[in-house]
Amino acid sequence: MLEDLRIKDFALIDSSDIDFSRGFTVLSGETGAGKSILIGALSFLLGGRAGAESIRAGQNEASVVGTFLLPPASPSDRDLSDDLEEEPLSAREWLSQHGIEDEDGRIILRRVIRANGKSGAWIGGVAIPRADLAAFSQFLVDIHGQHEHQSLMRVCEHRKFLDGYCGITEEVSQFTKAYARLVEKRAELLSLETDENERKRRQEYLSYSIEEIENANLKAQEDETLSTEESRLSSFEKLYSEIHSLNALFSSEDGGGIETLAKQARAASERAAAFDKNLEALDSRVQNLFYEISDISAEFKSYENSLVFDPAHLEEVQSRLDLIFKLKKKYASGIDSPISELFEYVEKSRAELERLESSDQSRENLSKEISSLEKEVYDRAKKISQKRSAAAQSMSVQVEQVLQCLGMAGTKFSVGIRQKSGDALEQKCGPYGMDDIEFLISANPGSPLASLSKIASGGELSRVMLALKTVLAQSDKVQTLIFDEIDTGIGGEVAVAVGEHLKSLSRDRQILCITHLASIAVYADNQIRIRKSAENGSTKTAAQKVCGQERVAEIARMLSGDSQSGESLEHAAAMLKKFGAD
């Protein structure tokens, strides 16, 4: 259960401390007040992605901290310390698996996003990756996002709901991995079973290319060294002219060269320092300058004496470069690519050549492996299908029962399961098993069942999603359910039914709900009002728990848009009294 939330500089919220209670809590406020910002901050805390744009304008970082009360330990909770491979089934097991301790049954989550885009995450003071935070949060909170009911329009999503109800989500995930291995091995076998003549041609080509590259006796970065050498030899005359001119400057015949002048400066500096000790530091620098110039002059003279133009060597260098460029053009990504690509090409070619040369044995081994994988995939798919079929009827009945409570009396709901087409030779399995799953509905008595994605209205989709969330909540251990504007497309008596259902659902779970409808809000045990205001040229969003007359005024505003009207206030007070809140 979420006990409190501390938000700092997130979006329009500068600082907000919110305490939550058990039962049913409604978050209300005018359109644009920032209710969804609060849900966004909570989603961020639970491991959702966020960028620097989530930081309040003018600040360097945003932070969200939340305290959660863990459900009491149950006999089903296991000690996973000796078996890190087994999937945890509860928040307490997850913490035990990761060596994190709670404090009196409570755990604190913390997230920070900085202006440079980097974020940090902590559970109980232990720094963890964002993905781990998101994995742990699934045991604590389930958020039904705004317009999420639209996912029911995508038939591919229906399977996820059924698998969640069956409790086989992880089993299906493991099946998907096995199926991917089977697809990979089949593709590998198909590659080996190419035309024999083509295989031989490929072997000959690979052998030739490997030999051609190896005969070149290439060395790492040889092309760079040769390019430097080729540039030097091609510009020999200009290089020699510049070096000769430079040596003339250092040692001119008339005594005015740099080296001679430095020698004279050295002697003068030495004499001056003899008269004034304060010049010793400068004299030392002049002495060092003289020796440095002498060394440089000597090295340039030596370099000039070593310069010899060798046309034959230039031709060798250019010929070698031409060979390397030719190999790059044939076997690398281009003449500008690094020479290491040629080495990589040889390694890959050797590996492929070995596979081709041992293709007969490889085909036999692969065929055996594929047969084994096919049996494994089929057996897994059959078990998954049996579990789905066994649970589909139960799920259908439970969803119908909830829909009755949500103003959809007489509605028929069915989880349709149809096995993919196949034969005895090759089972037609997909990455999630052998079943095609689709939700069917008949919203009017006497009407045949038809695709939910084709006939349901927005309000009906919203209620079906609420029913599914309710049924799924009964099969898992998540203690906090959050509904962001579950009232999409509904009103009147239907909204009353939704409010009554959320109240009922909150008897054994914490329910948080953003709503615009007073007929839902009056059922809540607690109400938090979200307000947006402008102060000193900046916009802020704040959250405040309302009760007593403040809550009556907020319900009145939700009813008529006027929180001061006597008639609206009277109506609001009557509704709160009737439905037992406050």
Mean pLDDT score, 34-48:
87
On whether the pTM is more than 0.85, the answer is no
Q: Average pLDDT over the chain, rounded to whole?
A: 85
Q: Which tens digit of pLDDT belongs to each residue from 182-194? A: 988 888 888 777 6
Give 153-205 as a DSSP string: GSGGGHHHHHHHHHT-HHHHHHHHHHHHHHHHHHHHHHHHTS-HHHHHHHHHH
* Residue spans of beta strands (DSSP E) within 443-523: 450-451, 480-484, 510-514
Q: Which tens digit of pLDDT belongs to each residue from 226-245? A: 888 787 777 777 877 888 88
Q: Which tens digit of pLDDT belongs to each residue from 434-488? A: 999 999 988 777 788 888 777 666 677 778 888 888 888 776 678 888 888 777 7
Q: Residue 368 to residues 182, 192, 253, 364: CA-CA distances in angstroms?
A: 12, 14, 89, 6
Give 524-552 as a DSSP string: -SEEEEEEEEEETTEEEEEEEEE-HHHHH
- pLDDT at 391 > cutoff 90: yes
Please answer whether residues 325 and 335 qualify as being in contact, where contact means their C-beta atoms are separated by less than 8 angstroms: yes
**Cα distance between residue 377 and residue 355, in whole Å:** 26
* Residue spans of beta strands (DSSP E) within 397-502: 412-419, 435-442, 450-451, 480-484
Mean pLDDT score, 155-166:
88
- pLDDT at 82 > cutoff 70: no
- pLDDT at 349 > cutoff 60: yes
- pLDDT at 56 > cutoff 50: yes
566 or 391, which is more confident:
391
- pLDDT at 162 > cutoff 80: yes
Q: Residue 418 to residues 154, 388, 433, 435: CA-CA distances in angstroms?
A: 17, 11, 11, 6
Q: Which helix (H) or strand (E) holds 571?
A: helix 566-578
What pLDDT sits at residue 396? 93
**Contacts (Cβ under 8 Å, ≥6 apart) of 425:** none
- pLDDT at 320 > cutoff 80: yes
**Cα distance between residue 475 and residue 164, in whole Å:** 8
Mean pLDDT score, 4-13:
91
Q: Which of 58-72, 191-205, 248-262, 495-509 has the highest mean pLDDT?
A: 58-72
- Positive or negative torsion for Cα 395, 401, 479, 37: positive
What pLDDT sits at residue 285? 93
Q: Which tens digit of pLDDT belongs to each residue from 260-295? A: 888 888 899 899 888 888 998 998 999 999 999 989
- pLDDT at 427 > cutoff 70: no
- pLDDT at 256 > cutoff 80: no
Q: Which of 116, 114, 145, 111 is nearest to 130 (CA)?
A: 111
